[in-house]
Amino acid sequence: MSYVGPDFDAPEPRRPRRGPLMIAAAALVPAALLGWLVYEAVADSGGTPASATPRTGPSSAADSPADDGKLTGSAAAGAASLKGKVVLVDPGHNPGNFRHTTEINRKVDIGTNRKECDTTGTSTNSGYTEAQFTLDVARRLRTILEQQGATVKFTQDGDRAWGPCVDERAHIGNAAHADAAISIHADGAPQGDRGFHVILPASVHQGSADTRPIVGPSRDLGTRIRDGFNHVTGSPLSNYLGKGTGLVVRSDLGGLNLSTVPKVFIECGNMRDSKDAALLTSGAWRQKAAQGISEGIVSFLRG
């Protein structure tokens, strides 16, 4: 764009004499403008002028991608499908646990025995911690589930200096009356041990623990999460636990023993294996992990 400054004003052209045709055309401009304004006002108010033609094709708002990441178009139609459902998401460990070894090493009651409040978790050989991984996947999972209409509760969201302890993690889900609960982890097995597995609660009736009412629903939840995770991520089932099923039953985890709502753990991969670590440290893959977990949870909640 050229600029004509105050010292370089362009000379005004000679104005031609207006004839009758030009006067008539000038009179039509305000009328046309008024008509357009009325059209826009009707459209903005939600109405549709009788002469308007609906937009189709890629320019339609229903088909265009959303800039804010929210569901649009046909996906939005099912956005409230989980309305009224509560999901407890438990990001395993806590990035600050290593600074509070005294607190996390104290023993708490898990029903079958007493066990450490929490641990620091594992990490990749390059130093990417399990606690960082679990919190990132948990937040991605929350976004997906909330877009489906679910209410998502966290045991911790990076807002605590350490913990919570494993017994408190279970109690948070119980107090929320969660319809489903998932604890997200990554393993620290030897190099060569690959793949993911889902941990289910054993039937425990001892002390303050009674998992008998949730064993069946938890197996259903865990099986669906296994299938969804495998489908979306393409990750193999564990080659070192679960005998090729991707499912492991345990009675030594307080987060499961003390739960009164359907709950499972998922070990998303082995942080000490170079191939698995390459996946776990990828943001794109973690998004797939969250999507895979959500598919299983949504399937379970919809029955």
CATH for 81-302?
A: 3.40.630.40
290 vs 159: CA distance, rounded Å: 21
Annotate 281-292 with DSSP letters as a single string.
T-HHHHHHHHHH
Per the residue annotation, which of 130, 168, 267, 295 is the catalytic one? 267
Active site residue 267: yes
Q: Where are the domains of the chain?
A: 81-302
Q: What pLDDT does residue 79 have?
A: 55
Q: What pLDDT tens digit does each residue of the chain (303 aa) get?
A: 433 333 333 333 444 444 444 444 444 444 444 444 434 443 333 333 333 333 333 332 223 333 334 443 334 445 569 999 999 999 999 999 999 999 999 999 999 999 999 999 999 999 999 999 999 999 999 999 999 999 999 999 999 999 999 999 999 999 999 999 999 999 999 999 999 999 999 999 999 999 999 999 999 999 999 999 999 999 999 999 999 999 999 999 999 999 999 999 999 999 999 999 999 999 999 999 999 999 999 999 999
Which amino acid appears at position 144 of this protein? I
208-238 per-residue burial string, b: 16 or more CB within 10 A, e: under 16: ebbbeebbebbbbbbbbbbbbbbebbebebb
Q: What pLDDT does residue 64 have?
A: 31
- From residue 268, alpha-carbon distances to 23, 182, 183 in Å are 76, 12, 11
Cα 145 versus chain centre, distance? 6
199 vs 98: CA distance, rounded Å: 25
SS3 of residue 4 by DSSP = coil
What one-character DSSP code corresponds to residue 111?
S
37 vs 22: CA distance, rounded Å: 23
Nearest partner of 271 among 195, 199, 200, judged by Cα: 195
86 vs 93: CA distance, rounded Å: 22
Give the end-to-end CA distance of the chain in Å, rounded to a whole number.
63
283 vs 179: CA distance, rounded Å: 28
294 vs 261: CA distance, rounded Å: 17
241 vs 274: CA distance, rounded Å: 18
